[in-house]
Amino acid sequence: MKSLRMTFLLLSLSLTSLTSHADSDILKTRWADVKVDTVATGLNHPWGLAFLDDGQMLVSERAGNLRLIAADGTVGEPIGGLPEIKVRGQGGLFDIVLSPNFSQDKLVYFAYAEPESTGSDITSTAVARARLENNKLHDVTVIFSQQPKVMGGRHYGGRLAFSADGEFLFIGLGDHGHRQDDVQSLANHTGKLVRIHPDGTVPKSNPFVNQAGALPEIWSYGHRNIQGMAIQPETGQLWAVEHGPQGGDEVNIPQAGLNYGWPIITHGEQYGGGEVGIGFKKDGMEQPIWHWTPSIAVSGAAFYQGNQFVQWQGNLLATGLRGQQLARLEVNGSHIIHQETLNLKRRIREVKVAPDGSVYLLTDEPKGAILRLSAVK
């Protein structure tokens, strides 16, 4: 009898274990078995995510809403008080980041497709700042507006990142899809990486502040469509990922005043075939430190730090839309020395590392999800 009871006990433990994993998939990876859990669902093309100190998440939906999500995944009502957002094509509400001093000032910063006037299809990417209180935005102030506004709904960029010291806000922009010819000119914000102070003023140390005819907000240029940005913890350097044309998705470490080559050089090619520009390389234009060819349609980027995946310390994580993946890139200083691909079989828009070291992903779907990656213990 004693032996029989032991058997039942073991069986029961085994079933408990199975049940608790019922909603999880396991990815076998180099350094860890990764459990993939669904935290929340029903989000309309979620685009950006910020962790609050209290365990809540602030999530933007491209469809134009901002929502608080509880730690247990409960999706809050839309936050009120957003400005008019043009939701069309790739346009809508983009990234959301917290003020470095959020616990005191309650300020949030978000990027979005801003129409020229009410209802207009002439748009560009703007960044606004607002105070978040009682599920509503207060004192909404537009601190940056990409010049010029143009027809068309593609290649908005829209990613935001604060510098490590909180003094600067980087804004990743795009070429609008059909305005490639503007990208090499410093007289506009098309295809630029912009750096401003959090109040919208222009830093005196920006590279083109004293150059006649150049817009002073520009940090670097020659970008096609910056989709992900992250600060490398050990260096404080900004890293940015951008879409190439059917190949040539890039990782760059954008330096002040430098030219990243679009549309003159690229490792991609024209849709339908044929070379873009003059080829791969040109003096005075920077090479990416890594590229994906064919494209994965690279989207978000984050550096891993945390206790959940101890062997991923300092790795760059980058997500792919068409590539349906999380790319884990091992980094040595400013070089990528190895790639591992985690195949998630869903379009992934963004990646963030949670305070507990787990990794959160947003799926790019009309009923999109928040996924959580954790280590199988």
Binding residues for a second copy, rule: CB under 8 A, are 30, 247, 267, 280, 287-294, 311, 330, 332, 335-340
Which listed residue (45, 155, 189, 223) is catalytic?
155
What is the rounded distance in angstroms from the CA atom of residue 17 to the CA atom of residue 51? 29
Q: Looking at beta carbons only, is 55 or 279 nearer to a second copy?
A: 279
Q: Looking at beta carbons only, is 163 or 339 nearer to a second copy?
A: 339
Give the angle subtended at the CA of 295 by the CAs of 292 and 297, to the nearest 5°. 110
Strand order in the sheet with 159-162: 159-162, 169-172, 192-196, 218-221
What is the rounded distance in angstroms from the CA atom of residue 316 to the CA atom of residue 297? 16
Closest distance to a second copy from the beta carbon of 280 (Å): 8
Structure tokens at 270: 């024209």
Structure tokens at 49: 């995510």
> Where would I find the H helices in the chain?
2-20, 102-105
Active site includes 45? no
Structure tokens at 8: 């039942």
> Pick from 327, 375, 374, 367: which is nearest to 43 by CA?
367
Give the angle subtended at the CA of 108 by the CAs of 363 and 85, to the nearest 5°. 65
Q: What are phi and psi of 123, to 5 degrees?
A: -140, 170
Closest distance to a second copy from the beta carbon of 337 (Å): 5
Closest distance to a second copy from the beta carbon of 235 (Å): 15
Say if residues 50 and 98 touch (Cβ distance below 8 Å).
Answer: yes
Within 10 angstroms of residue 161's Cβ, the number of other Cβ atoms is 20
What is the rounded distance in angstroms from the CA atom of residue 338 to the CA atom of residue 167? 32
* DSSP per-residue letters across 161-177: EE-TTSS-EEEE-B-TT
Q: What are phi and psi of 207, to 5 degrees?
A: -70, -25
Residues labelled catalytic = 155
